Structure formats: structure tokens, C-alpha cells
Structure 1
Amino acid sequence: MKVPTSDVPTTVEIPAQSGAIVTLATGHRLTIIDVEGSQVADLFAVSANDADEWLSVPVTRASSWRLFPAVGQSFLSTAYRPLLSFERDDSPGVHDMLEAPCSPEMYRAMAFPGYHPSCSENFRTAAARVDWHPQCVPDPVNFFQRTPVEADGSFTALPALTSPGDSVTLRAETAVHVIVTACSMDLEPINGDRCTPLRLEIGP
């Protein structure tokens, strides 16, 4: 996938329980839109120039001294370099950097019978399009996910507070591949009463 040079905005639709990959040139912006409301967006990113340098949630937490992302901060790579900056938040402002992506192993542990779509599988399908094959699926930034932490250190995944059309906007600090998955979890109510689509808008 080539790094875009066009200044013409691009729109990508992500159906419920699926994912997509886009490539951003330095300085370009990605807006993630919750089309119907209450839908979590798992975000992963990797340098377009080095497949061993991806967005690290632990590095980002440690460097920002924050459990949850906020406007103005950067999302850092495994090499402590900024890949994306959090430029704008047109949502209730509740996001997560604690939860792992849902996976086949998670659904088996929850005793779900048979196959269930997952963010981990959707991540691997999208990452393969740019020949990115990490041994383990990285932890994502979970935009719109509500996981409040209690005084005793426990936390609970609650339904997302977003309304239809709410969004966040990120700016690429370097050429970067970004994967966004519309979270597939429907055994817990983090996506409201059902999983729904997302929309990506990419432009200068």
C-alpha cells in the first residue's frame, strides 16, 4: 500500500464486526466516526517504514502518565517515537487504553460455542495487506470504550456513551499504517445492545 500524496479526502466504511487498514502520509488526518452510536473502535498503528515499530499502549501510558487518552497527547511507538497525535475529540471524551482486543481465545474462555468474529482476527487480516505479521496482536487504543477504574483498582466495561456521528481525529506524525476495527464484542454490553459500523475519513 502506497503512502497517499493526494489532498482529496477519502472515506472508508467499516461494517459491524470487521476492520480496515488505511495509510496516512505525515501530517494527514484520520477521523473515526461512530455512525450509529455506542460502538467501540479498536485502533492499531505501525510505521510505514519499519514493521517492527508499532503503536505501543504501554509506552504511551508510561510516557503520558495517563491511563486513558486525551486531546493533545501523542501515541508512541515501541521506539518511543510519536506515530499519531490526538488532535480533536467530538465525542463525550471517554476512551480506553486498558483492555486487550477481543480474540478467539477470549470467546472460548467466555464459553461461546462455535465461531465468533473478533478484533484480533480482523487486525491480522488487515495487517497482512501491508505484510505486517507481528507474533502477538498489539494492545489497541479503544476509542469510545468506557472502562472506569474504581478506587480499589477494579474496572468494569460499560456501554459506550457516544451518539450517532460522534468522532475523534488523529494526525499522523510520520507515514503510518492504521488499522481500525469495529469491536465485535456482543457478549458484554460495551457496544450497547448490538455491534454497529464505523466510518473513517482521511485527508490533509
Structure 2
Amino acid sequence: MPSPHLLPDDADARRSVEPVICYPTDTLPNADLPLYLAARAGAAKVGEVVVAPRDAASIEVPAGHFLRVSSVEGAQVGDLNLFNAADLTERFYSGKTRALHGTHVSTGDQLWSNFPTLRPMATVVDDTLNWYGIDEFGGSVHDVIGTRCDPYTGQVLAGKDYHHCCHSNLTRAVAEARNLPLWEAEAQVHDVLNVFMCTGFTRDTGQYFMKASPVRPGDYLEMFAEIDLLAVLSACPGGDCSAEHTSDAAACYPLLMEVFKPTNNALDGWSSPPVNAYDRSHGT
């Protein structure tokens, strides 16, 4: 325990300083939601994959298509990785997405890629759980604060090897999707979008918490692919994450990924966002 220190005379004044938003988003290029929604209205399904409980699967999502992640049988959360389909080194950057849009994402928010590209990879266009908001505990849905359940932390906390946590599931799915050895695929797996997961931070200790997801069969999160994507999803071994997230004890259910293609000319004038314009020749 840290040693206690005397309360300074101006403690209340220091605590009462007004916060400042780190990254004001007024100048961010706005996603053209009306265009995307109009294109979605006439889109046809061109692919799907069922993600088995305690497992992961991948699907290709061409730029200008839509990816829908759905609950189909029971309350289930999923860990989503996104990659540039042609270059796995460009991948979803949960930390910068969190800094720009907040701890949880919903309709209108964009999912950003890592440096040096730093551009929108996808835009959330529909979310059947956007009614949830922020609850009395500070919890909300679709977080970009958690990492992913993994075997290394499990070994540290419990001294056990567990092979169906999301990190391991994602590793195997990436390896299969790109015919990579497991060690090489593991290096590409990254912090996730926790689809349907309800999380927050405790007010007293600041610890990351989870609670039973409000997701029900038929709920979905849908996004527009701003670039060609490889989407990799793990159906978390914690099920709805009401009690634990690395276990064979929780009730787990499959998740469904579907891809929809707009009709011809539905996206006239649209193009994928360019890579970040920062001039790297001067060094970072």
C-alpha cells in the first residue's frame, strides 16, 4: 500500500479544476451517414460466416460494403479485430479510437487504424443497443477500453493454461485466413472492439468492470467498410460476461458476421479515405 500523505490545503481547489477534452473532434472529417444509409437500404447479402462459441472466424469485407455482427441464439459478446485486407500491418487502433470518440462506440463513430496510416477503417452505421447509453454504474456497450482475454494474464492470475480465450482464438483465425504460422499471426492480433460487451470503470477504485450484456438474439452492430477489410471475430468464452470471461463454465453462443453489397451507383462520388497526410520525412 502507498504511504499516506497529508491533505494539502488547496486539495478541493485542485480537484475542482474543469476538465478539457484532449482531442476536440469538431474538425474531424464527418462520415457521410445519409449516403451510407441510403446505400445500405438497397444492399444485398453476399457473404456470411457463423462464429462458433469459444472460437473465432474471419470474413473479407470489400471497401464500400457493410459488415453486420449479430447475436443469433443467446446473449454473447465478441472480440473484433480489423485489418487492411491487403496489409495486416494496418489494423484497428482501439486506443486512438477511444481518445477520439470515447470509451464506447455507437452509430456515427469511426474505427481508426494505427500509425502511420491513421485513417477511418470503418464507420458504425447502425446499433440496436444505442438505447442503452451510460448506466448508473458508468457502464456502456461496445467498448474500446478492454484488451482481450488472453492466456498470458490467465497464467499470471490463476497459473493455468487456457486455449480458447479471445487472444488465442483470434490468433488461430488470422493464421488460417492468411496461411501464417501461429507465431507470426499472434504478432498481428491487437486490442479489440468488444462488440456487445457492457463495461466501465468503478468510481471508487477505477478498475475495469464488466456486467451482463444487454444483447439479445436479433441485436446487431453494423459498420461501413471504408477500406478493404479482413474482419476477425472471437465469440468470447465468457458468454455475456456477467461473471467471468476466461472459462468453460459460462453459457456461450455463436455470433453471425454478414457482408452486404450496395447496388451499382449507390456510392457514386465516394472513395476510401487516404492514408494520413503527416510528412514522416522529418522524423517522429
TM-score by length of 2: 0.63
**Aligned-residue offset at 1:138:** 0.7
Identity %: 27
TM-score with structure 1 setting the length: 0.86
Contact 1:43 1:143 in 2 (8 A): yes
Q: 2:236 is matched with which residue: 165, 177, 183?
A: 183
Moved more, 90-99 or 19-28: 90-99
Aligned CA RMSD, in angstroms, stands at 2.4
Letter of the structure 1 residue corresponding to residue 125 of structure 2 = E
8 Å contact from structure 2 (residues 76, 196) kept in 1? yes
Q: Deviations over 1:149-195 (max 9, x none)?
A: 33343331111111112111011001111101101236962679512
- Contact 2:80-2:233 at 8 Å conserved across structures: yes
* Structure 1 segment 55-94 matched on structure 2, within 5 A: 55-64=92-101, 66-78=102-114, 79-91=117-129, 93=132, 94=141
Task: Pick closer, same or farther for the CA change 1:46–1:106 going to 2, 3 Å.
Answer: same
Residues 49 and 183 (structure 1), Cα distance of their counterparts in 2 relative to 1, 3 Å cut:
same
Contact residue 98 and residue 145 of structure 2 kept, 8 A = no
Check if 1:161 corresponds to 2:214: yes
Query: Hey, what's the Cα distance between the residues in 2 that align with 1:144 and 1:122?
Result: 18
Task: Kindly indicate whether residue 260 of structure 2 is the aligned counterpart of residue 203 of structure 1.
Answer: yes
Deviation per residue, 1:105-152 (Å, 9 max, x gap): 132234264544111111111112225735263100001111123334
Quote how far apart the aligned CAs of 1:12 are: 1.0
Q: Which structure has the bigger radius of gyration?
A: 2
1:109 maps to a residue whose letter is V
Q: Which runs of 5+ in 1 are unaligned?
A: 1-6
- Does the 8 Å contact 1:47/1:175 carry over to 2? yes
Alignment of 1:141-160 (within 5 A): 141-152=193-204, 153-160=206-213
Paired with 1:178 and 1:9, the residues of 2 have a C-alpha distance of 15
Runs of 5+ unmatched residues, structure 2 = 1-43, 133-140, 262-284
Cα distance in 2, alignment partners of residues 136 and 52 from structure 1: 7
Q: For residues 67-95 of structure 1, give each alpha carbon's deviation from its aligned partner in whole angstroms, at most 9, with x where no partner exists.
A: 11121011000021111111100135522
